[in-house]
Amino acid sequence: MDYLVRGKFVVTMQPRYGTQGVIRNGAVVVSGRDVVEVGPYRDLKPAYPNATVVGSSRYWVIPGFVNAHQHGKGLTDFQLGGMDDCFEISRFAGDARAGLDPYLDVLYACKTMIESGITTCLHYNSSSSPDTYEAGVNERLRAYRDAGMRVSFGLDIRNRNHIVYGDEEFLASLPASLRDQAMERYSTARTAAPDDYFRVARRLAGELGGDGGRARLFLTPAGPQWCTEELLRAIRREASEHGLGIQIHVLETKYQRSYFLREYGRSAVQWLADLDFLKPDVSLAHGVWLNRRDIATTAAKGAALVHNPSSNLRLRSGIAPLMHFHAAGVRLGMGLDSSPLNDRPDMLQEMRLAANLQRIPGAGPGLMPLADIFRAATAGGADILGWGGSGTLEPGKRADLVLVDSRPIVEPYLARHQSPVDALIYRGGAGAVDTVMVDGEILYRGGKHVRLDEKAFLKEVKRKITPAPRRKAGGVDARLLPRVREFLESHEEHPVEPFYKFNDAG
């Protein structure tokens, strides 16, 4: 079916269509999967008289958002019973969590992402046992197929430091009984062993190319502090040989920074660079604690960084130096990390948070422009995730687009000279999303899902949730928690001056 998708503004992200790539009273012609033409509605309507018109002057047409880092959690940690805390200690807090099978959980994540205008995502798999690894991967991929989203599916792996950064030293400091319990509970692999991992990767690399064009494989090692040099070198070879993308958590927290300085005498970014790991097919998730040299190295290697401001705040990781990334020319994407600020996916809110967190006190220049933040959440993310054929609205690109109801943004008044891109970031939100198209297929229209029977699906989700089990007070988690906290704080041997500061309490 051919569509003529029209709006008061069409945000193409292409400068040749005007300031910020915006066409006033424009339209996008979609035939099959592709955008075939963009331009003024008055010119395109008579040229395509048989195309089905979607939208009106009430709407703005924009590229689909790209959630370039998330873990496929439909139900958030808070919903399941957890509370936000420092990343490294949150697993020891002892909060009992409810559960949901991986297929339904990811399908629910897709539902809420689509409702917020997200058409493409990176799924950073989070497995819990080598015994269920491959089955869990298959079920999560099935959820993306059924939802119709575009996904770069990341296979997770880790093979060291299962408890803290420096397991051997930490375990040696524990009383014998607690050490045995800690090893039994935590010192076992959560992911597939390397041989099985690469077997699954090769199978999926061959299969996903024919998956309707909406799925591709990524390799997503958990992080340099969790993966040995040998494993990362093998992942680098595999990615190069088979043309696969890589995403890896890097310097999310200050304790990860301390670990590398203590163990290797250099930062994690420099360590990865010395392994010849960093290339244009690599994206770093978070990067909160990159220093100036790290930022320059990332840019020079052509690697990208995915900014996750909500998650960085919720997990007490810090505020990433976005304006320094931008000034250095680092390729940027935006991610929600399955931990958005209001516990529901909202890429416009995430962009607004990113824009405002960079506003350090003072009148100095150097802030990342709003249009570039918008680009990071659309075309930038598409490029990072290997979907360069989408992310903008121009002929030859895949038709991944969103209609936003402009009324919540412009009423009762918005000055005519304000750019729609700036207005979206200042005033927009997920609730304004009306229609979502992926690959030329409408998945969401008029605030209703097309593929998904929402009422029946929500009923099934509620029925399948496993309530949180009760945990006994004084268990191994409770006894480990203060020792983990003490270990982390005592090993922060290299104090760092952050790019931002709190006001002086004195």
pLDDT per position in the chain (506 positions), as tens? 899 999 999 999 988 887 789 999 999 999 999 999 999 999 999 999 999 999 999 999 999 999 999 999 999 999 998 899 999 998 887 677 899 999 999 999 999 999 999 999 999 999 989 999 999 999 999 999 999 999 999 999 999 999 999 999 999 999 999 999 999 888 678 899 999 999 999 999 999 975 568 999 999 999 999 999 999 999 999 999 999 999 999 999 999 999 999 999 999 999 999 999 999 999 999 999 999 999 999 999 999 999 999 999 999 999 999 999 999 999 999 999 999 999 999 999 999 999 999 998 888 888 999 999 999 999 999 999 999 999 999 999 999 999 999 999 999 999 999 999 999 999 999 999 999 999 999 999 999 999 999 999 999 999 999 998 876 666 888 899 999 999 999 988 666 778 887 666 55
Q: Which amino acid is at 8?
A: K
Exposure of 13 by Cβ count < 10 A (0-12 exposed, 13-18 middle, 19+ buried)? buried
pLDDT in the model for residue 478: 85
Pull the structure tokens for residue 312. Answer: 């960085």
Full 3-state SS string of 330-347 = CEEEECCCCCCCCCCCCH
C-alpha to C-alpha distance for 244 and 92, rounded to whole angstroms: 34
- What stretch(es) of the chain map to CATH 2.30.40.10? 2-63+396-451
Calculate Rg over the CA atoms of the chain. Answer: 23
CA atoms within 13 A on the CB side of 268: 27
- Specify the length of the chain in residues: 506
CATH number of the 65-91+98-359+366-384 domain: 3.20.20.140
**What's the pLDDT at 233?**
98
The sign one gets for the Cα dihedral 337, 342, 344, 347 is: negative
Contact between 140 and 215 (Cβ < 8 Å): no
Question: What is the distance between the alpha carbons of residues 208 and 224, in angstroms, rounded to a whole number?
Answer: 27
Per the rule left: phi > 0, alpha: psi between -120 and 50, beta: everything else, 223 is left
- What does the pLDDT read at residue 123? 98
pLDDT tens profile 403-422: 999 999 999 999 999 999 99
Crossing angle of the two packed helices 229-242 and 194-207, in degrees rounded to 10: 20
Q: Report the C-alpha gap between 406 and 60 in whole angstroms.
A: 6
Locate 425 and state its tokens: 């970031």
The percent helix, strand, coil of the chain (3-state, each to 5) is 40, 20, 40
Check if the beta carbon of residue 317 is closer than 8 Å to that of residue 252: yes
Q: Is the pTM of this model over 0.85?
A: yes
| Sheet with 245-250: strands ordered across | 65-70, 118-124, 150-157, 215-221, 245-250, 282-286, 304-307, 331-334
* Structure confidence at residue 184 (pLDDT): 86
In angstroms, the CA 67 to CA 122 distance is: 6
315 contacts 289 by C-beta, under 8 angstroms: no
Element (H, E) at 437: strand 433-438
- Sequential DSSP letters for 252-270: -SHHHHHHHHHHHSS-HHH
3-class secondary structure per residue, 67-128? EEEECCCCCCHHHHCCCCCCHHHHCCCCCCCCECCHHHHHHHHHHHHHHCCEEEEEEECCCC
Let me know how many helices (H) and strands (E) the chain has, helices first.
Answer: 21, 16
Tokens of 291: 């220093």
Residue 134's nearest CA partner among 229, 184, 204 is 204
- Residue of 148, 281, 155, 285 lying closest to 215 (CA atoms): 148
Which amino acid, 248? I
Q: Distances from the Cα of 219 to the Cαs of 234, 238, 257, in angstroms?
A: 11, 9, 23
The distance in angstroms from the start CA to the end CA of the chain is 66
Selection from 280, 321, 338, 345 nearest residue 115 by Cα: 345
406/393 Cα distance (integer angstroms): 19
The first and second tokens of residue 225, run together, are 């502090």
Please choose, from the candidates 279, 277, 350, 366, the residue with its C-alpha nearest in 3D space to the C-alpha of residue 312. 350
| Cβ–Cβ under 8 Å, residues 80 and 468 | yes
- How deeply is 494 buried, as exposed, middle or buried, from its count of CB atoms within 10 A (0-12, 13-18, 19+)? exposed
| CATH for the 2-63+396-451 domain, from 3.50.50.60, 3.40.1160.10, 2.30.40.10, 3.30.160.20 | 2.30.40.10
Model pLDDT, residue 268: 98
Q: For CATH 3.20.20.140, list the domain ranges present in the chain.
A: 65-91+98-359+366-384
Tokens, residue 438: 């992926």
